A and B are shown apart, each in its own frame.
Chain A
Amino acid sequence: MRCRVCRQPAVIEIRRHNAGFCHECFAKHCRDQVARTVESYSMLSGDDRVLVAVSGGKDSLALWDILLRLGYQADGLYIGLGIGDYSSESAGYARRFAASRSARLVEVDLPGDFGFDIPTGSRAAKRAPCSACGLSKRHLFNSEALKGGYQAIATGHNLDDEAAVLLGNVLRWDLAYLGRQQPVLAEGTGFVRKIKPLVRLAERETAAYCVLEGIDYIVEECPMSAGNRHLGYKELLNGVEETSPGTKTAFLFGFLDKVAPLVGQVAAAERESLHPCPICANPTVSGTCAFCKLAERASSKP
């Protein structure tokens, strides 16, 4: 198989593009896709400072690498979740990447800074681990970005992640979630802008980018992820993709182009009704925010 662009031997085949790529042309293809996404959704302007949420995994490290190479002022944010060896190992990958690029990595440690970890927090609050984890991360992404004066927080959600979440939201016709499922959510009172520059790259492509570019990432999965329902949605979609390549892209971008503008109003209305949390000042529906409630329950029940 030969590279579609330069006819050198290919190292990767991308079936939905019906093409093979050599190392150089593939890396350029990935960076071009991100540059195009950032521009077409007006995610960042030239002098914005962006905080990249890094987990030590393939997506977030590829994202950080690409944003730095595209010339953006991108710092990293690593959150220690207190999930045993998985957390200590993933922190190592994030730190080594930062050191190799002489980039700045902001670190927050849930057990050290807030007195609880995800396993105990989720038990105390009677929430699924990924639910407690997801709300904690969203909270800390926003508050750290505000604290550091960043204009945007970037996450490594890729095409497969977004298509799987979309399928889940559609299966339940969850309009509020559908309304928020955008590659960019504008800043508002108490919120920094949230951007997902990898939505045009499949996860096989972000992994390939890391391998080819020598970016060492944690291959092991978080032990809490077993049985996560999004994994099931991903497998379902990959089954369809196998017989008709391009379906995931059509599903996600069809939604973003045709449906998201309609349901976006639901999310906008919801945002207007938010109030600052009395404890941490982050915007919330009413009373104490979900993160402060979680922290309170986790520390009162050791």
Chain B
Amino acid sequence: MQVKMTVNGEEREADVEARMLLVHYLRDELGLTGTHWGCDTSNCGTCTVAVDGQAIKSCTMLAAMAGGRDVETVEGVAVGGELDPVQEGFMREHGLQCGFCTPGMIMTARWLLARDPDPDEATIREAISGNLCRCTGYENIVRAVRWAAEHPEGATDAEEVSA
């Protein structure tokens, strides 16, 4: 079937099987391999993307269900190649190791900050609890999100120098 959606600001259209999952559509049809796939049971969150601004596990949605909607993946986050504050927070606070959970974590964190620009630790922990990370033990991810909350415009010039 024909599906048409906006992905990272661009109109995309393709002929796919009705059963195709959104995660596979993004990865295999569009080549957007930043969105990962890590489980069969919607537990891991490595596939998280934004659909109309909502953080969605893209393995729980058919590509067809995203028809006509606005999908954003990790590839769409860094505007003009510049890291956004969430990405920068992950780098500064060492919120990633193998990087496999990272795109999903970033998409979840962006969704949280869009709704709650100043979340406390407990709120952050709850928000990312559907995203598993096997490497970091989560603490630095929590710090990364806090960093982003404290730096909505990214690093200041002074921090740039000391970084």
| A and B: interacting chains | no
